[in-house]
Structure 1
């Protein structure tokens, strides 16, 4: 009887999970395997002939200055945007826990960018950065700071910084809400005890709040770093298309152009393999660095 119930339960679990496993295998596992396979071939993506070249695509890739610049831009966005976004989100979440008026309204306003389409965000910042009629240059002109006016999306030195601001604006609200929810679950009795002991708000944040929400910070940090690789591609594609002269290219936009614009599909897939390995290794490193003993209360 017990064996029959166990078998019935296993069949139920199998039929519940089978559709998801099948879809994941078809649309994720097989394409990933195909990327690794095609990275070893020279193929335009359209012709019937595929020439096996082994690791030649990777050798050329690691000597390609355009790819190295795209890699550098990706690293820059991951480091700078992650630090600023996570730090600001934590600060704003802690601020929202204090006794301020209309904090639900502020939360809503800060969260709005996250519900906007990436294309809409790109359009907003493209309008803000417009050299002639953009809001940013207009404000600088109004303040008689004409020397600070720039072609924000046309200057090779600052274009990636301009995109970083758009990424930060779009992402910060979501993580602020995540951290605020975690902070709200921390018992107020802990803060009351700390206040009695003479700890100020700054000390309470680092000795109570941060350790108790660390598991959430760790998870969101890994998620943000990986999702930023995709987000950077979407914003770059909509705002600059890699310009000017490839100075704002990132890894995914480089891969896309090689595979689907330059008819170098195998070469693009080699870039895809490096992106896959880079993302996997980076997530493992972040997970290891941020590993802490889970505190309970």
Structure 2
């Protein structure tokens, strides 16, 4: 009976594991192999060059700048996005004042409308979001500078994406705007599953809303927050940041490589410069950084699981 059970489980796993190995694991292995070659990506011919690509990468100033920008995204984007999402979700579900005849615990007025507003960016693809904000950041006719001009701040006309000191922060603002709504809905679902008796008991004992958040809500949502941190960090290191930087910024990559991130640099080396082997080398570095980031977050965020 036990033998038949394991055969049944293996029978279900063999096809998905085969597909995963073929389309995920094998490309990683190929990339690692090509990082030791001089392959251009345009020809089947290549030769082994050992660690030359890695030596070149460590001496590449643009690589180090792209790594710095990617790490900044991975650290700050989750911090800002998750903090805003937790605040908005808490106000929507728990942060409202008690109304006469109403429940002790409730969200602010119009909480259902706010959920729709926060989630709206998720309806749009990241490419459309990047195009919309590219127009908004236009220094001549964009919405931001036009607003400054309309309220009498004619002297305050930043170049935005054309300014090396501002471009990266403009991109990060777009990423925060486009992702925070998803986590508002996610955290709202988590808060809705917390028994209201816990909130009512805390409030009746004299706890403030802030104390309730840190002593009740956050501990019970910690597993969700930790998973969200890893998820959004991987997005920041990968496709999400690539799409916004590629579409919005000059170059792309911004003035003086001010918005170049690792995944964009991989794309440029592979498809613009015909240096596929060197691109896979940077890709391997990106893989190591992503795995290290996920491992560190999971390690530092580990805490005793709370149940209710």
Length-normalised TM-score, structure 1: 0.95
Aligned CA-pair RMSD: 1.3
Partner of 1:188: 196
Q: Give the match for residue 237 of structure 1.
A: 246
Deviations for 1:76-132, whole angstroms, at most 9, x for unmatched residues? 222222211010000000000133222111101110102211110011100100111
CA distance in 2, matches of 1:199, 1:172: 28
Counterparts of 1:207-218 in structure 2 under 5 Å?
207-218=215-226
- Most deviating of 136-145 and 280-289: 136-145
Aligned-pair CA distance for 1:52: 1.3
Matched, 1:76 2:72: yes
The runs of 5 or more residues in structure 2 that have no matched partner are 97-106
Q: Distance in 1 between matches of 2:78 and 2:203?
A: 32
* 239-248 vs 216-225, greater mean Cα deviation: 239-248
SS at match of 2:161: coil
Q: 1:58 aligns with which of 54, 65, 68?
A: 54
CA contact (8 A) 2:71 2:237 kept: no
Structure 2 match to 1:268:
279
* CA–CA distance in structure 2, aligned partners of residues 123 and 46 of structure 1: 31
Deviation string 1:206-249 (CA, Å, 9 cap, x unpaired) is: 11111111111111111110122221011111112212242211
Report the CA distance between 1:193 and its aligned residue. Answer: 1.5
User: d(CA) in 1 for partners of 2:89 and 2:108?
Assistant: 12
User: Stretches of 4+ moved more than 3 A in 1?
Assistant: 9-12
Name the SS for the 1:52 alignment partner: coil
Matches of 1:37 and 1:105, distance apart in 2: 52
TM-score when scaled to structure 2? 0.91
Unaligned runs of 5+ in 1: none
2:214 aligned with 1:206: yes
Q: Distance in 1 between matches of 2:16 and 2:236?
A: 25
- Indicate the residue corresponding to 2:34 in structure 1: 38
Partner of 1:153: 161
Equivalent residue runs for 1:79-90 within 5 Å: 79-90=75-86
- Partner deviation per Cα, 1:148-184 (whole Å, 9 max, x = no partner): 2122111111111110010000000001111111111
In the alignment, the residues of structure 2 paired with residue 158 and residue 62 of structure 1 have an alpha-carbon distance, to the nearest angstrom, of 27
- Residue of structure 1 equivalent to 2:294: 283
Which residue does the alignment assign to 1:93?
Answer: 89
Q: In the TM superposition, what is the alpha-carbon distance from 1:281 to its structure 2 partner?
A: 0.6
